[in-house]
Amino acid sequence: MLALFQTLAALCCTWFAGAAVYINLVEHPARMSCDTETAVAVWAPSYQRATVMQATLAVTSFLTGLGAWLLGAGQGWLVAAVLIGLVVPYTFVAVMPVNRRLLAPGRDTATGETRELLDRWAQLHAVRSALGVAASVVYLTSLLG
């Protein structure tokens, strides 16, 4: 059971980190190379699809990492679980207010304010990427060390 929890924790976390980093380094810069109306039009469905995947991966990684620690794995499993687990409250507190503003009905998507919100969103999302990468490093170090 311990090996299963460790494998799932590390696998889900590295998938989360890879997706988050891809969004920050590839997907979002590509959409930002378009006009603001197009960028926000593409951001909205991408955000909605990514939310389901990333939330599932982060929560699964947190729970299985915590489970591994409770089953006797070392402190690294708890540290990594907390790091990836922080993604969820951070998203609700820091990222969701920007998401709500971007998705607000009647928003003029051609404005400079909308573009600034998209830029702000990318900065906030980079924190999620960093948490995912940090947790992945700790999980993999714990798994391989």
Q: What is the pLDDT of residue 84?
A: 98
In angstroms, the CA 81 to CA 59 distance is 9
Q: Is the pLDDT of residue 33 over 90?
A: yes
Residue 112 CB neighbour total at 10 angstroms: 8
Is the pLDDT at 145 greater than 90, yes or no? no
- pLDDT, residue 41, reads 95
What's the mean pLDDT in 114-122? 98
How far is it, in rounded angstroms, from Cα 65 to Cα 110? Answer: 43
Residue 102 near residue 114, CB atoms below 8 Å: yes
CB atoms within 10 A of CB 74: 11
For the residues 10-37, what does the mean pLDDT come to? 97
Tokens 């991966």 sit at which residue?
57
**Residues spanned by the domain of 115:** 2-144
User: In the predicted model, what is the mean pLDDT of residues 120-139?
Assistant: 98
The total number of structural domains that make up the chain: 1
Q: What is the mean pLDDT of residues 114-127?
A: 98
Amino acid at 119: D
Mean of per-residue pLDDT scores for the chain: 97
Q: Span 93-100, mean pLDDT?
A: 98
